[in-house]
Amino acid sequence: MAFNELSCGLNAGNTGLQNCNENFGQWDKILLVPDDFEIATKAAAILEATYTTAINAAVATRMYPLFDHFNAEPDQEERIQEEGWAGKTETVREGKDRVTFMFKNVSFYNHKELRKHNNRVNLACYIVTSQGYVLGRSVDGTKFLPLSISDFYVAKRNFSDGSTIDRSSIRVEFKDASQWNDDGVWVKPIAFDPLLLEGIKDVSITGVLAATAETVTVVGASDRIGVVGLIAANFSLVADAAPAVLIAVVVGADNLDGTYDLTHASITGAHTMTLVNQPIGTGGYEAIDSISTSV
């Protein structure tokens, strides 16, 4: 299964026009990944499970979909040239591509979370366009690789004067213009919409552990809105003493207000309950705290 199904294949640089002018649309979403991240094949790159697994992976290998922006300002650096004998010039380096994305209605909590990615090294990204394409690159025609980033910077937040909205902006500088212009490829998933990919949401869990049952509350870490739709696999109940035994939890009721009635086998001694990162849709939930007590 080849990339770029509308493309005209490799040739000798011939210039006859072909009917393969893709309508990518505008860049709508960035999927941040480590620079060594890769998707093995095009077949894997069009599966929702590939992205869901990456979004819910361990922090070191995790994919971070950014939320939709409302404006983007591209800025292309001029190419760097060197002049030689007899007035000859040559290109030393192509100009880097830079884009500043502007976001509105982003909570201050999320703004601070975004700034944790500032000055990250070995960062890369895939681009999701408004027409549902996912842009990346391939050097061997098989692996779907991200575009390398040389600078990722979340600027300080703009203060509002009351007539405007507080806004967050992100400046992305791509490391090598040739990655897209020479090795760029795309996929267009059909079975799911990549524009709907969401990152993991931080939540807070509170409650009091009991011997066999308790009611716990799970709310958004920032908005404090109750989280609904969690399943038994989301709750981790572990004995503190070694060996750390995992006790199965049963969700007796999701009360649809962020509270859950849970049951489990009888426990004694020190135990800890937290929320483990199981996917709910494309992104999951990750607890910033836990319930720890001795029963």
Residue 211 pLDDT exceeds 80: yes
For residues 261 and 48, what is the distance between their CA atoms, to the nearest angstrom? 31
Q: Per the omega criterion (within 30 degrees of 0), is the bond before 243 cis?
A: yes
Q: What pTM was computed for the model?
A: 0.80
Model pLDDT, residue 18: 65
Q: Tell me the fold of 201-294.
A: Immunoglobulin-like (2.60.40)
Distance in angstroms (rounded) separating the CA atoms of residues 205 and 237:
13
Output the pLDDT for position 109.
87
Mean pLDDT score, 56-67: 88
pLDDT classification of 282: cutoffs 50, 70, 90: low
- The span from the CA of 230 to the CA of 266, in Å, is 22
**Range(s) within the chain of domains with CATH label 2.60.40.1220:** 201-294
Please say whether the beta carbons of 180 and 135 come within 8 A.
Answer: yes
pLDDT of 287 reads: 85
pLDDT at 126: 97
Residue with tokens 């692996």: 143
Residue 281, Ramachandran bin (φ over 0: left; ψ between -120 and 50: alpha; else beta): left
**Cβ(118)–Cβ(153) under 8 Å?**
yes
7 vs 57: CA distance, rounded Å: 33
pLDDT averaged over every residue in the chain:
85
3-class secondary structure, 61: helix
Each residue of 144-194: pLDDT tens digit?
Answer: 999 999 899 998 887 777 776 778 888 898 888 788 888 999 999 999 999
Residue 144's pLDDT is 97
Q: What is the pLDDT of residues 103-125, one digit of tens each?
A: 877 888 888 988 998 988 789 99
What one-letter code names the amino acid at 198? Answer: E
The answer to whether residues 55 and 279 touch, using CB atoms and an 8 Å cutoff, is yes
The pLDDT confidence band at residue 238, using thresholds 50, 70 and 90, is very high
Confidence check: pLDDT of 196 > 70: yes
Distance, in Å, from the CA atom of 136 to the CA atom of 124, rounded to the nearest integer, reads: 10
Q: Which of 9-13, 178-182, 227-231 is least confident?
A: 9-13
